[in-house]
Amino acid sequence: MSQAVPLSELQNRMTRFRARMDAACPQWELVSLFGRINQYYFTGTMQDGVLLIPRDAEAVYWVRRSFERARDESLFPHIEPMSSFRDAAQAMGRIPKQLYLETELVPLALLQRFQKYFPVSECKSVDLQIAAVRAVKSPFELEIMQRSGEVHRRILEERLPGMLREGMSEAQLAAELYPVMVEEGHQGVARFGMFQTEIALGHICFGPSSIYPTSFDGPGGNFGMGPAAPVLGSREHTLKKGDLVFVDIGCGVEGYHTDKTMTYMFGASLPKEVVAAHEQCVAIQNQVAEQLRPGAVPSEIYQTTMASLNSDFLRNFMGFGTRQARFLGHGIGLLIDELPVIAKGFDEPLQENMVFALEPKKGIEHVGMVGIENTFIVTPDGGCCITGDHPGLMPVY
């Protein structure tokens, strides 16, 4: 089994969160966390329940199911069973009028059930405060992410190239890749925070499939299984000699993710202009990574980088056609898409041990999406890559 999150780690997270709340929301009295990822972050287990964090008392994790598993997995000192929110309300006593909760996550029906016993009159968002605390990783978290990065590297740089064969479909590659990932150490699921975002493995694409439009907020696309399941890969789209193969997948170990994209030239080289576009994307990744230092401002990195690119290259950069992802990288951790983002509007300076996935990519008509993605830790010496250093466009003959 995975190691339990140490008590000292849990205590440090709660202390940093309370300090952040005191600074950002001086009048706060109560936070309730319903999201299982946030519950895991603060307690080391994820169950059906609610984590209540009063300002002037100890936090208590109230668990409907499974209380036994929570006690078995977690070193969090205050875990209590409940049959309904009534139990938590009765134990708490005075209920404040104002509540901070995950407004990006909690559905109205759940909030109404909670308010039946916690009659708060005002709800405010705690999402940014939690995101800011989670953005800076501890040595405990970084060690796990480095293990995920090595698993990720082996999968895409060593295992996948030998799996490619002419005539296989995107769906076949995905189906064959999944058990390899689990064998190598992947936890079996990749988690996103984006509303109604589903993912099986990621984008696994042959040729122009990787520039087909999708609702996913990223530069790449894919055909998917069809309108009802626009994820995974197509059963009909098969690999041909000369295809660009684009694989953008997440990997997770003990809850923590890395993000990586690798491209392959199957059976033949691509035109020189395609290779040149790819190499410029790699150069952009390396330039941005060099700036991932404490004190650097994400919005300034983004604007300076974008301003340095000429109009021809900007056409279909970070997307294709009218679809353009307006970022160069994103925070990553317990979710693949965390804050902060290398984009406009993110003006808080970087801190040491934040982690980013950088993904400069460019769509090429009739060819597909070139470019690269790797995961980097913010250090005083610039971004430290934890997912391998292969530049992509790996030839597979």
**Tens of pLDDT along 149-164?**
999 999 999 999 999 9
| In-domain check, residue 1 | no
Residue 174 has pLDDT above 70, yes or no: yes
Tokens (6 digits) for 107: 């559905």
Same domain for 29 and 171, yes or no, is no
Determine the average pLDDT of the residues in 161-172: 97
Summarised one tens digit per residue, pLDDT across range 236-254 is: 999 999 999 999 999 999 9
The length of the chain in residues reads 397
Contacts of 279 (CB under 8 A, 6+ apart): 391
**Range of 386's domain?**
136-396
CA dist., res. 283 & res. 352, Å (int): 23
Determine the average pLDDT of the residues in 325-344: 97
Determine the average pLDDT of the residues in 352-359: 98
Residue 198 has pLDDT above 80, yes or no: no
Determine the average pLDDT of the residues in 164-185: 97
Summarised one tens digit per residue, pLDDT across range 71-126 is: 999 999 999 999 999 999 999 989 999 999 999 999 999 999 999 999 999 999 99
Residue 1 has pLDDT above 70, yes or no: no
CA distances from 196 to 105, 111, 257 (A): 10, 19, 19
Determine the average pLDDT of the residues in 17-43: 97
| In-domain check, residue 64 | yes
| In-domain check, residue 200 | yes
Confidence class of residue 378 from pLDDT cuts 50, 70 and 90? very high
Q: What is the pLDDT of residue 367?
A: 98
| In-domain check, residue 2 | no
Domain count, the chain: 2
Contacts of 86 (CB under 8 A, 6+ apart): 117
Q: What is the pLDDT of residue 72?
A: 97
| In-domain check, residue 114 | yes
Tell which of 133, 149, 175 closes a domain.
133
Closest CA to 316 of 239, 207, 176, 211: 211
Same domain for 303 and 202, yes or no, is yes
Mean pLDDT, the chain, integer: 96
Asked if 351 and 295 touch (Cβ cutoff 8 Å), the reply is no
Same domain for 172 and 53, yes or no, is no
CA dist., res. 125 & res. 158, Å (int): 44
Same domain for 336 and 369, yes or no, is yes
Tokens (6 digits) for 287: 């330039």
Asked if 61 and 79 touch (Cβ cutoff 8 Å), the reply is yes
| In-domain check, residue 295 | yes
Q: What is the pLDDT of residue 332?
A: 98
CA dist., res. 160 & res. 245, Å (int): 11
Tell which of 85, 116, 133 closes a domain.
133
DSSP bridge partners of 77 = none
Q: What is the pLDDT of residue 247?
A: 98
Q: Is the dihedral of CA 323, 275, 233, 180 positive or negative?
A: negative
| In-domain check, residue 31 | yes
Same domain for 124 and 113, yes or no, is yes
What is the secondary structure of 116-128 as a DSSP string?
Answer: TTS--SEEEE-HH
Determine the average pLDDT of the residues in 307-329: 96
| In-domain check, residue 123 | yes
Asked if 204 and 249 touch (Cβ cutoff 8 Å), the reply is yes
Same domain for 114 and 147, yes or no, is no
Same domain for 25 and 65, yes or no, is yes
CA dist., res. 387 & res. 375, Å (int): 6
The DSSP element (H or E) to which 355 belongs, if any, is strand 355-358
Tokens (6 digits) for 390: 């292969």
Give the Cα-Cα-Cα angle 282, 384, 189 (nearest 5 degrees): 85
Same domain for 274 and 346, yes or no, is yes
CA dist., res. 345 & res. 300, Å (int): 9
Same domain for 233 and 310, yes or no, is yes
Determine the average pLDDT of the residues in 10-27: 97
CA distances from 207 to 216, 223, 360 (A): 19, 11, 18
Q: What is the pLDDT of residue 299?
A: 98
Confidence class of residue 229 from pLDDT cuts 50, 70 and 90? confident
Phi, psi of 205 (to 5 degrees): -135, 145
Cα dihedral 282, 287, 292, 298, rounded to 10, equals -100
Same domain for 194 and 257, yes or no, is yes
Same domain for 218 and 112, yes or no, is no
Task: Report the DSSP pairing between strands 355-358 and 338-342.
Answer: unpaired
Q: Exposure string (b/e) for 228-240, b if CB count within 10 Å is 16 or more?
A: eebbbbbeebbbe
Q: What is the pLDDT of residue 3?
A: 82
Contacts of 157 (CB under 8 A, 6+ apart): 262, 388, 390, 394
Q: What is the pLDDT of residue 360?
A: 98
Same domain for 357 and 307, yes or no, is yes
Determine the average pLDDT of the residues in 28-37: 98
Query: What is the CATH classification number for the domain harbouring 206?
Result: 3.90.230.10
Tell which of 133, 165, 180 closes a domain.
133
Query: What is the CATH classification number for the domain harbouring 56?
Result: 3.40.350.10
